[in-house]
Chain A
Amino acid sequence: MKTLNVNGQPVEVDAQDSTPLLWVLREHLGLTGTKYGCGIAQCGSCTVHLDGVAVRSCVMPLAAVSETTKVTTIEGLSEDGSHPVQQAWAELDVPQCGYCQPGMIMAVSGMLNASPDADDAQIDSQITNICRCGTFQRVREGVHLAKEVAKKSKGETA
């Protein structure tokens, strides 16, 4: 038994140390929003946040995640789908099949955590997720819109 902090809550996990975090989330915790796409850190479908930083959970063994690490999955990104990235994605109808999108949204929100003003060059270098449907143009527009949404909501709460 190991305790993890997932989406703000302590949870007990009974899995082997070598089990990738992706499968712990999907199969032990029922958090199936985090997707399997390649298993070798190539596609980004499995992206989650560890302490706010986007990581690919398919190559992250359970043993490498400490009890105090804050794990955030797509299910915990916001309570009601209202994270600026989710709002922007809804506004622009970004997803096609949608399978890559939890990972895409976590990658983008992770980037914006560190660089709230991320520009196109940063998008190109940091968003390396694969989307076979080819939603990239709206993803790019979505990043820029999310920045605006975030600023606006900050302004409102300030």
Chain B
Amino acid sequence: MSELMKNPMTVSRRGFLVTTSTLGAGLALGMTTRPTAASASPLDEVNAWVHIASDETVTIRIARSEMGQGTLTGLAQLVAEELDCDWNQVTYEFPTPGQNVARERVWGDFSTGGSRGLRGSHQYVREGGAAAKLMLVQAAADAWNVPASECTAAESVISHSASGRTTTYGKVAEAAASVPVPTQVTLRDPADWRVAGKPVKRLDTADKLTGKLVYGADISLPGMLCASIMDSPVMGGKLVSFDESAIRKMPGVKGAVAVVTSQGTNGVAVVADTWWQAHSALKQLPIEWDRGPNANFDDAAVTALLEDGLDADDAYVGNWGGDVQAAFGASATQVEATYKVPSQNHAPMEPMNATALFTKDRCEVWCPTQNGEAALAAASEASGLPLTQCEVYKTILGGGFGRRGAGDYVHQVVEIAKVFPGTPIKLQWSREEDQKHGFFHPTTMAKMHGSLDAEGNLTGLHMRISGQSILAGLMPHALVEGADYLQFQGVIKEGLNPSMDDHSICYDIPNILVDHAMRNPPIRPGFWRGVNVNQNTIYLECFLDEMAHAAGRDALEFRLALMKNHPKSAAVLKAAAEQGGWGSNDGKARGLAFLHSFGSYVAACAEVSVDGDGKLSMDRIVAATDCGTAVNPQQIEAQVQGSFVYGLSGALYSECTLANGEFQEDNFHTYPSMKIAAMPKVEVIVMPSGGFFGGVGEPTIGVAAPAVLNAIFAATGKRIRQLPLKDQSLRA
């Protein structure tokens, strides 16, 4: 296939030009577009991370996916910082997963989740930028016949001060490609950063304002057909039959295809000239289902399963210290409370989609994915072709939140494309399909049991989690003797499981036991922005609030007393509380929450009011983040604000309920999401203490709900222990 077709941006840009010229909008003229990305071939690059064109355009290769979180810009800043190039000349491109295979994973890991975009790759991308700079300087020095040590570089200009000569990166880039790769580079101290660490604008904004950016849903290829799919409405159900003749004559329809994949899909897709035709026909298609073993599963069964685990003997111990039973026995006061969090769907704004072109010896896929390499593997598995005969072209994602780490939709589109060899097929899920076939935020309950001594000190805490394990559902090989350590995110002591140290509990509780009774309903679990900190932080932080209240102590002072050995934790909590007006006598209701996760320390102080009808207004939130090193403060602010919208949408409105094995909330009218009127004002404190790289996309989502729930208690005296909040009365 031609070079043009391999690059969706190019194809679509052409398509766009044709379209707009037909419509006479003339948008393409006079518009500030970023220079066209070069191809990620090794031939004309300085190194894998950097390509510099003779017109001085610096193309930085971004291996991770961009789904709104700003990683693309942050990574480019880190490379540019060490490269010392002119930031105004920087653009980006996504190397393909196939190229990564061919080049022995020169770009490392493509997967983008767990707030790892920057914190998991800052070291090697900076080294890539630094190495490229050394090579460019060496090339100039060679041309001038002077030692490289006499040359300096800044803003894409190389100078030799002794002779007064200068040249530019663009002029020496070609020669630099053949300079030996430096074996050692020195990285700049973040204290001296000039581009990184600064609130520079995102690189990907312009095309998002004009409709020009091509998302996966917008891919258009010559001769392409479109597909709409319906998978078995019940998890584990099967397609029995469908009557294609009923839709055969509908406009544009090319056929109906049974789609069965190794990922559990067992459904049918209709293929037509346009998606609207395909979808309209799918709705008319008579389908017979075998609803399978879960046909009668409903929410009551989920609850019964979870409740069974609250006192069961079979529990994995994740965190322990001292002797909780002895602490309870010797206590002056004991408190017990049970909490529950439902299944929730990711619902990114762009419903799942992917486009595939299959021929007998090649399979190509265009798709928004958080894991390009997994998408490539999915294309290979589904097509039966080796990795080297497959390729994936990533688009910018219309939201991910963890949902697009999965390759289910890639498997599906390849299965459909196999029926139409040589014809590109775009599979677009309806919102309804997206709601019913998610990888759901796991549903769990927690029974909290705490004790106080006569002075009101927290002496013991038993946290029994009961419910669904993500790893058991998605990656059972990652379980350790059956236990899912990720389940203990945010509530596990440092050192007990080193892989969890970025999510350690920062309260020293003398006697503690956190255990998990695994109870897995027949619901597909997934990584949902924040993962297990969402529920764990609600359980822990709301219960600490209950304990402080029982002790008659101030909730801030109560927490700080447990944080004496955790200065970073105490610092963010104090910062949020102080700016949030904690302790002031202004009659406002406030709540606090703290969390250490994804390597960062975060805290929130929420201010709410509840009117006489029980209507909640979230008036203000102050959120503090110590992410160690701040690569782009204005994007951290955006991520923190967004995390409150996502987290509070979940806490306030989101639940996916089952009736007869089928999810009931199938679109935004029954699965509401926060709108502008409900969003609290979020003040963001970014307070990097240096020395580490913590994540920013996810940590603050953990404190969103508990801070608000604790503030609701302050306002009403009512404890909300079951989410979502939507139908519960807040009248005291």
Answer whether residue A28 sits at the interface, using C-beta atoms and an 8 A cutoff. yes
Stretch at the interface among B151-159, B328-336, B375-383, B391-399: B391-399
- Alpha-carbon distance between A138 and B26 when the two chains are bound, in angstroms: 29
Contact assessment for B430 and A39 in the assembled complex, using a CB-CB cutoff below 8 Å: yes
**Are B205 and A95 closer than 8 Å at their CB atoms?**
yes
A29 to B251, CA, bound (A): 18
On whether the beta carbons of A33 and B211 are closer than 8 Å, the reply is yes
Cβ–Cβ contact B25 & A9, under 8 A: yes
Chain A residue numbers with a CB within 8 Å of B681 are 137
User: Which one, B24, B201, B211, B428, contacts A102 given CB within 8 A?
Assistant: B211
Alpha-carbon distance between A132 and B397 when the two chains are bound, in angstroms: 12
A103 to chain B, nearest CB (A): 9
Contact of A30 among B215, B220, B347, B351 (CB under 8 A): B220
* B contact face: mostly helix, strand, loop, or mixed: loop
A86 touches B210 (CB 8 A): yes
Are A34 and B211 in touch, CB under 8 angstroms?
yes
Contact A27 B645 (CB under 8 A): no
Using a Cβ–Cβ cut-off of 8 Å, how many residues does chain A contribute to the interface with B? Answer: 66
Determine the residue in chain A with the shortest Cβ distance to B208. A98
Is the CB–CB distance between A136 and B679 below 8 Å? yes
- Selected contact of B349 from candidates A94, A131, A138, CB within 8 Å: A131
Given contacts A33-B212, A95-B68, A134-B679, are A9 and B24 in contact (CB under 8 A)?
yes
Q: Do B642 and A96 touch (CB < 8 A)?
A: yes
Task: Verify B646–A132 contact, CB threshold 8 A.
Answer: yes
B350 beta carbon closer than 8 Å to chain A:
yes
The distance in angstroms between the C-alpha atoms of A81 and B12, with both chains bound, is 18
* Count of A-B residue pairs with CB < 8 Å: 219
Q: Which of A63-83 contact B (CB under 8 A)?
A: 73-77, 79-81
Cross-chain contact of B24 among A7, A26, A29, A81 (Cβ < 8 A): A7
Residues of A within 8 A of B430 (CB): 39
**Contact among B32, B209, B215, B639 for A99, CB-based, below 8 A:** B215
CB distance from A79 to the nearest CB of B (A): 6
A32/B220 contact (C-beta < 8 A), A8-B24, A95-B205, A134-B642 known = yes
Q: How far in angstroms is the closest Cβ of chain A from B224?
A: 10
A105 vs chain B, min Cβ distance (A) = 7
Q: Would A100 and B645 count as touching, CB distance under 8 A?
A: no
Complex Cα distance, B201 from A94, in Å, reads 10
Contact with B along A116-140 (1 / 0, CB 8 A): 0000000111011111111111111
Residues of B within 8 A of A (CB): 12, 15-16, 18-20, 22-27, 29-32, 67-70, 201-202, 204-206, 208-215, 217-218, 220, 226, 251, 274-276, 347-351, 396-401, 428, 430-431, 634-635, 638-639, 641-646, 649, 667-669, 673-677, 679, 681-682
Ranked 10 nearest A-B pairs via Cβ: A33-B211, A134-B645, A99-B398, A97-B68, A98-B208, A96-B68, A134-B642, A74-B211, A124-B677, A30-B19
